[in-house]
Amino acid sequence: MAEINTNDIVRPENLTYVKSKILTDNVMHYCPGCGHSTAHRVLAEVIEEEDLQSRTVGITPVGCSVLMYNYIDVDFQEAAHGRAPALATAVKRLMPEKFVFTYQGDGDLAAIGTAETIHTCNRGENILILFINNGIYGMTGGQMAPTTLEGMKSSTSPYGREVATMGSPIKMADIVALLPGTCYVTRQSVNTAGGVRKLKRALKKAVQYQNEKRGTCFIEVVSNCPSGWKMTPVESNKWMEENMFPFYPLGDIKVPAE
């Protein structure tokens, strides 16, 4: 067998994977290894493959992902802290032909925006809520979030989260799955290639259900925060597998009847 040179392989006809064109060339401000960047990339791929670029409106939160509109080349609207689902409700009701999604972290969705999240899901607004759960407030310096695990250290729980005084971590996906308005609730991750591919399939399902006007789709992505957790990206992924996944098990929580 003749040896093949790398230069012979690197040709347009052999292309297997390249980042989506909808992801802009701006370098993302996220820390190395952050799950936000991976989630952005997958979302951009889905928007490109489903040909949604011209009719997508994204709602950005307050948190690390506040500058998301610099990285994905679709229309965006910035919401007040925690109010993304309320704004998404308005956008979807005014322009029902648009694909509307919110992208929120745990401080935005599970703390200041709990009311908006729950009532939007309860009304069954026809939107996609993408929830990035890394168990900590990344942007403000690693404070305890509602989703911080029991015993997990953060800058405002330096001896670990104590349930007696700080309460138990909140499972948002399980809560909204109980509401009749949600049609599809799932929990995914982005730490492995398999996880990323599953998230992509989940996002495509959410697009399909929104096109069919089936109700609110809620996708939780269990993610890492290497800087907030004070670990390297590889260590944080391992820590997440060992500690986050037992408490936040991956998989579909609610799927619509066919």
242 near another protein, judged by CB under 8 A: no
How many other CB atoms sit within 10 Å of the CB of residue 158?
A: 8
Candidate list 90, 93, 162, 197; residue touching another protein; CB under 8 A: 197
# of chain residues touching another protein (CB under 8 A): 39
Stretch that binds another protein, among 30-38, 78-86, 108-116, 207-215 (CB under 8 A): 30-38
Residue 225 interacts with another protein (CB under 8 A): yes or no: no
What is the distance between the alpha carbons of residues 2 and 65, in angstroms, rounded to a whole number?
49
Note whether 228 and 142 are within 8 A (CB): yes
Q: Is 191 in the site for another protein (CB under 8 A)?
A: yes
Among 17, 51, 97, 165, binds another protein (CB under 8 A): 17
Give the H/E segment covering residue 87. Answer: helix 84-94
Does 237 participate in binding another protein (rule CB under 8 A)? yes
Q: Is 23 in the site for another protein (CB under 8 A)?
A: yes
- Which two structure tokens, joined as six digits, stand for 196? 């990323």
Choosing from 48, 205, 233, 242, the residue that interacts with another protein (CB under 8 A) is 233
Residue 137's closest CA among 103, 112, 163? 112
Distance CA 178, CA 122 (A): 9
> Is 147:172 a contact under the CB 8 Å cutoff?
yes
Which of 42/57 has CB closer to another protein? 42
> What is the Cα–Cα distance from 65 to 16, expressed in whole angstroms?
29
By the rule CB under 8 A, 227 interacts with another protein: no
Footprint of another protein (CB under 8 A): 1-2, 4, 6, 8-11, 14-20, 23, 27-28, 30-38, 41, 190-193, 196-197, 226, 232-234, 237
